[in-house]
Amino acid sequence: MGRGGKKGTVTPRELNPSPRLKRGPKMGKRRKMKRKKKKTDMEELKKEVVLDDHKLTLEELSTKYSVDLMMGLSPERAQEILKKNGPNALTPPPTTPEWVKFCRQLFGGFSILLWIGAILCFLAYGIQVHYKEDSTKDNLYLGMVLAIVVMITGCFSYYQEAKSSKIMESFRNMVPQQALVIRAGEKMQINVEDVVVGDLVEVKGGDRIPADLRLISTQGCKVDNSSLTGESEPQTRSPDFTHENPLETRNICFFSTNCVEGTARGIVIATGDSTVMGRIATLTSGLVVGKTPIAAEIEHFIQLITGVAVFLGVSFFVLSLILGYGWLEAVIFLIGIIVANVPEGLLATVTVCLTLTAKRMARKNCLVKNLEAVETLGSTSTICSDKTGTLTQNRMTVAHMWFDKTIYEADTSEEQTGKTFAKGSTTWFILARIAALCNRADFKPNQETLPIAKRATTGDASESALLKFIEQSYSSVKEMREQNPKVAEIPFNSTNKYQMSIHLQEDGSQAHVLMMKGAPERILEFCSTYLLKGKEYPMDDEMKKNFQNAYLELGGLGERVLGFCFLNLPSTFSKGFRFNTDEINFPMENLCFVGLISMIDPPRAAVPDAVGKCRSAGIKVIMVTGDHPITAKAIAKGVGIISEGTETTEDMAARLQVPVSQTNPREAKAIVVHGSDLKDMTSEQLDEILKNHTEIVFARTSPQQKLIIVEGCQRQGAVVAVTGDGVNDSPALKKADIGIAMGISGSDVSKQAADMILLDDNFASIVTGVEEGRLIFDNLKKSIAYTLTSNIPEITPFLLFIILSIPLPLGTITILCIDLGTDMVPAISLAYESAESDIMKRAPRNPKIDNLVNNRLIGMAYGQIGMIQALAGFFTYFVILAENGFKPIDLLGIRLNWEDRFFNDLEDSYGQQWAPLVALRHSLQRSYLCL
């Protein structure tokens, strides 16, 4: 971070070394050094951000960046720095040209086998034409058909993927266009690309942060860091150093995050690729992605088929030479056998099957960008899931209330049907009024027809949750606010930790009421009495103890707790009194404590069942979140990632009443790992956690740590799926075997890095996708087995044609009719097969053992069904010839005379002469084909 020479900094020049190297003897050495440097750069990017600017005093900051904190840089100095460091812009991620994508579809994977077959056909045809004037054109037709099949299938695959995956200039879209800087004491709007390190920048609510800033002054500033850290709550900013971790401290603002309210001034400490966001962008674009499981399976299949084809081809090439054939004929036989082993229709079958499944998944809210990702999801053995918006509803909701010394549960379901609690209590009426009136959130207009829970609001997440809850459980907030107009207010800030508002009483008494909400311990400090069933009582130790117990219980559930109190102001503060919130001229002590309300982003209704299905399917679900460990653990327990009755080391320590350090971590089935602990772990320690614990939650993780966790899972041999929605998730999304981005809440960056997009942001949709992925693997196996069974009945006629010199039972054109006609439709129809009843109860397949095409399948297709089909075909072949006067024993050795167009007196077994033989040949091949 910061300047070029700092540890942990990777400048754009370092990240993109010049590709132009002089040719010479040292070329190889330079390339090796370049690869080594790139690897070092990537390892450096994976490390945590090293930054100490947040620890500096303002004087030290001014000295380090040679800037006047009031006047800013001079325009001349700013130009020098701009010239030296380059523009404040992210290097856009490398994109693959469309023609390269098209060529990959045309020449990649299975297509290459068909191209080789086509080339061999053209080669065989060329040899025949060169040496024989009357050669047939069968090989020419076969070569043309193979080339056409590959081209049509390639175009189809390219169209499907291009339709789902548009190139998005997402990182560029995230960059703010203008910035307000102070140079030589003058405020000026400049292009964000012209911002330099050391600039004095001013931001206000609604602005996007133009670079990494160290704040020097703030006024009620809050920023939305959700795209970077995953935290949905706006974060308060101040000039104070509050945390060792630069991502946690309050005096740093990060490039491309949003300022949601207030104002702030800061010094630019990093620009472009050197910013925290720039490091993530560079890390994402530099990651090397491995093959998908289905690509590896197709490669294995090609090797298998090629091995069989070459073995048979070479064997019969040698045999044909032994039998006395010339080398030319032997070469033609060699090529013919190799081509006969190529299943021409299989490429189209696999592509169509994957496309049908992709369309079926899209109807179930899973949009697949890459066709191969369809099957990858089915192979998944570990899911690393983000919390906010995937496992949860991504909206703060009131979960519990504590008043009249009792904890009441609120309804957190998405339908918000409303649970019953003590709505008749006077305390509840007062608590509801404070929650509605001491609240800056409001509903956006023209939403009256929508359910309250679905309405959009203005204001932060917590206040919006209170607004919706009161509207649903009490009465119209708008009417309450009209009857009790607000006359004064002190907004919430991180120093006071409370929000206060003064309202005119609705009873017409001309009196005012002061209402307050905020951090519970802070609210209690203002109170000398408390409300119990509508009556005030003096605050005593028992009440404080009850308060403390309730606060700890609700906080332990991972919920955000707010306290509420009020004070009826004396009659001296009647209507018309001018309240001064800067120099307080009204009482703010001896308030009456009313109760607590706690909020949480609740789990989605379908998630616990989905996690249960994953568990029964042998899939390990790991939560990886930037949120607080207590909240993460509570949600993990709520959705079943940490199952009921399972203990973490903290739970064990609490039960045994010993320090956590004295417990044996291996005895705990579940574990919650804090990002600060993960930072100090070696790869071996992380591997041990992943191996020894079945239920894992990683909390307060950074983007680099998410990537390290994914790599750790892959080291265990797992096929890893990762879900995410923010920029912070993009390195992990790209590195995973399948990255799953959120369609609604996801950033463009995460969608670009991912292979699949959840259109409804729901974890339950992933489980549906896993089921579809497993089903397509099963069905592809059936389709391939069905297609391969025709290889033996297609090859054996050709082999007997060579060995026994009998008339050819099956020609090239009829083989094409089988492979691209009669076989293809039934093979594709197998993609519509329903799932087996135990499909989600089986363990995930092991890619090393459970292959798409294995020895057993080859043995069944070639050795059993293929042989049966071949025998049936030959039975028909011999019957037809016998009916026409040729006994099987007399067919041996008549091939040359049979094929000679000028030989018109071929005798059958009964001495009859045949001329011409065309009709009989066609009859033979039709009968063999029909079998």
Beta bridge partners of 699: 674
Q: Quote the radius of gyration of the chain (alpha carbons, Å).
A: 37
The type of residue at 187 is K
Q: Which of 696, 638, 693, 642 is nearest to 668 (CA)?
A: 693
Question: Is the link from the previous residue into 234 a cis peptide, with omega within 30 of 0?
Answer: no
Q: Which of 619, 554, 589 is nearest to 377 (CA)?
A: 619
Which residues, including other chains, have CB under 8 Å from residue 596's CB and lie 6 or more apart? Answer: 400, 401, 402, 403, 520, 547, 550, 551, 554, 561, 562, 563, 564
Main-chain phi, psi angles of 414, to 5 degrees: -65, -25
Q: Classify residue 290 by its DSSP letter.
A: -
**DSSP class per residue in 332-379:** HHHHHHHHHTS-TTHHHHHHHHHHHHHHHHHHTTEEESSTTHHHHHHH
Q: Which helix (H) or strand (E) holds 283?
A: helix 276-286
Decide: helix, strand or coil at residue 629: helix
Which residues, including other chains, have CB under 8 Å from residue 847's CB and lie 6 or more apart? Answer: 293, 296, 297, 379, 719
- Sign of the CA dihedral running 149, 150, 155, 156: positive
The tokens of 44 are what? 């450096």
Q: Classify residue 220 by its DSSP letter.
A: E
Q: CA dist 204 to 179, 216, 263, Å?
A: 11, 14, 4
**Cβ density class 368-395: b for 16+ within 10 Å, e for less:** bbbbbbbbbbbbbbbbbbbbbbbbbbbb
**DSSP class per residue in 36-85:** HHHHHHHHHHHSPP---GGGS-HHHHHHHTT-BTTTBB-HHHHHHHHHHH
Alpha carbon dihedral 419, 425, 429, 432, in 10-degree steps, equals -40
Q: Is residue 615 a contact partner of residue 621, using CB atoms and an 8 Å limit?
A: yes
Q: Which helix (H) or strand (E) holds 27?
A: helix 27-46
**Cβ density class 220-254: b for 16+ within 10 Å, e for less:** bbbbbbbbbbbbbbbbbbbbebeeebbbbbbbbbb
Q: How many other C-beta atoms are found inside a 10 Å radius of the C-beta of residue 26? A: 11
Q: Which of 213, 309, 298 is nearest to 264 (CA)?
A: 213
Chain-centroid distance, C-alpha 832: 27
d(CA 368, CA 315): 44
**DSSP class per residue in 403-449:** ETTEEEEPP-SSS-------TT-HHHHHHHHHHHHS---EEPSS-TT
Of the CA atoms within 13 Å of residue 604, those in its CB half-sphere come to: 19
d(CA 488, CA 236): 22
Pairing of β 560-568 and β 670-674: unpaired
- Catalytic residue ranges: 386
Beta bridge partners of 406: 403
Pairing of β 535-538 and β 366-368: unpaired
